[in-house]
Amino acid sequence: MSIVEFLSSIVPFTQNELNDIQGHFKKESVPKNQILVHQGAICKTLYFMEQGMGRSFYTKENGKEITQWFFGVGKFMTSADSFFQQTPSLYNLEVLVDSVVFSISKEDMDQLFAKYHKMEKLGRLVTTEMLTKIVNKLNAIQFQTAKERYDYMLAEFPDIAHQVPLGYIASYLGMTQETLSRIRK
């Protein structure tokens, strides 16, 4: 899914607007395992995942990695907090397979928000959708058994669930890899 298709699917931009907006995005190929943003750095770029997949994760004091979110095709990938408030990112942003992304800087994005009311609306809608998803995850984590949480994962990220190491999923779901391994049977 191209960024133009994505934008159009949410808010009805004119062709001219789409051209202008698209001009602010830069298409990039990113090789597997590349880190787009490091924990502690300020995230200056928003990415749209055209092809591939990624995750955000942080490293605990004990060195263990905790996956915080997965990003599939057709999603915006960023450390939302860090990008929008320009504060140090709590997470690393990593591409999990060879991917193609469209990137845009904070300044350009702000410009688009300011220029197009419709873009601001799109921003609001996308943020609302993200909010809903996080609430879903929260409910899963807080009130469901390990087994049910895995089912939630399969439902939320069907395409991703079978393509990443078990440990990534386990930490995303707030359980150990051993537990997840036992559950899958």
Task: Check: CB of residue 78 under 8 Å from CB of residue 56.
Answer: no
- Min CB(51)–DNA separation in Å: 18
- Min CB(6)–its own copies separation in Å: 17
Decide: is 143 part of the binding site for its own copies (CB under 8 A): yes
In the chain, DSSP assigns E strands to: 26-30, 35-37, 45-51, 54-59, 65-71, 76-77, 92-95, 99-105
Task: Check: CB of residue 86 under 8 Å from CB of residue 63.
Answer: no
The tokens of 53 are what? 């997949």
Binding residues for DNA, how many (CB under 7 A)?
Answer: 17
Phi and psi, residue 40, nearest 5°: 95, -20
SS3 (DSSP) at 56:
strand
Among 129, 147, 155, 158, binds DNA (CB under 7 A): 147
Q: Binding marks (x or -) toward its own copies, 118..137, rule CB under 8 A?
A: --xx-xx--xx-xxx-xx-x
- Quote the CA–CA distance of 171 and 80 in Å, as a whole number: 20
SS3 (DSSP) at 114:
helix
Among 10, 90, 145, 158, binds DNA (CB under 7 A): 145
Nearer to DNA, 30 or 80 (CB): 30
Contacts with DNA by CB under 7 A lie at 145-147, 165-167, 174-182, 184-185
Contacts with its own copies by CB under 8 A lie at 60, 66, 80-81, 84-85, 113, 117, 120-121, 123-124, 127-128, 130-132, 134-135, 137-138, 141-143, 174
